[in-house]
Amino acid sequence: MTAEGDSISSQTAELIRQAKYFCAYQERCSSEVLQKLTSLGADKQQQQIVMDILIQEAFLDDRRFANAYAQGKYKNNHWGRIKIFLELTRRGIPNNIIEQAIEGIDNDEYIQILQHLITKKIQTIKNKNQQQTMEKTAYFCTGKGFEPELVWQLIKKQHFDS
């Protein structure tokens, strides 16, 4: 049943079933679900009905998705805040939700991960020219989405402490 009390067609009911399964398998955002519904042949009205039901029944929550995505990408993939922000933006997540998800990243753990990446990268660089090593390490870390000023601060601190 929709909010207006109309009955749902069997095709829409099947779309709802498939979308619930899609969302239950792993955390999804609205744009991923809409893309899936489009690939299943849902029209705009069906998409709206399915999205409303998924949100109502807590199968779909962009805030929950953003939090899980941010935590997972920084802990498992060692992505920085910039890359996480860009990827969530690309998925159509509103900036205020993205900012809250990024604020949920533990700063001490974030710095530890970055320090670990710096240490590992420095060890893999064959050319031990100090300037080139620092530049290659900074390029690597900023490419993973870490803030350039933080990267350079930690590279310099780590280099001069060793």
Residue 59: closest CA among 14, 105, 28: 28
CB count in 10 Å sphere of residue 133: 17
- Which residue has 């998925």 as its token pair? 91
Same domain, 40 and 73: no
Is 2 part of a structural domain of the chain?
no
Compute the distance between CA of residue 117 and CA of residue 67 in angstroms, rounded to an integer. 23
Number of domains forming the structure of the chain: 3
pLDDT, position 159: 66
Same domain, 19 and 54: yes
Is 1 part of a structural domain of the chain?
no
pLDDT mean over 116-124:
92
Is 26 part of a structural domain of the chain?
yes
Q: Are 2 and 49 in contact (CB under 8 A)?
A: yes
Chain centroid to Cα 99, Å, comes to 12
pLDDT of 136 higher than 80: yes
Domain that holds residue 56: 10-60
**Residue that is last in its domain, among 43, 60, 77:** 60
pLDDT of 124 higher than 70: yes
pLDDT tens by residue, 72-100: 999 999 999 999 999 999 999 999 999 99
Is 4 part of a structural domain of the chain?
no
Same domain, 114 and 80: no
In three-state secondary structure terms, 91 is: coil
Same domain, 88 and 111: no
Same domain, 89 and 67: yes
pLDDT of 2 higher than 60: no
Q: pLDDT class for 6, splitting at 50, 70, 90? A: low
- Measured CA to CA in angstroms, residue 64 lies from 12, 35, 61, 98 at distances of 25, 19, 5, 10
pLDDT tens by residue, 9-64: 899 999 999 999 999 999 999 999 999 999 999 999 999 999 999 999 999 999 99
Q: Are 80 and 144 in contact (CB under 8 A)?
A: yes
Is 5 part of a structural domain of the chain?
no
pLDDT of 1 higher than 90: no
Residue 60: closest CA among 72, 71, 68, 52: 52
Is 79 part of a structural domain of the chain?
yes
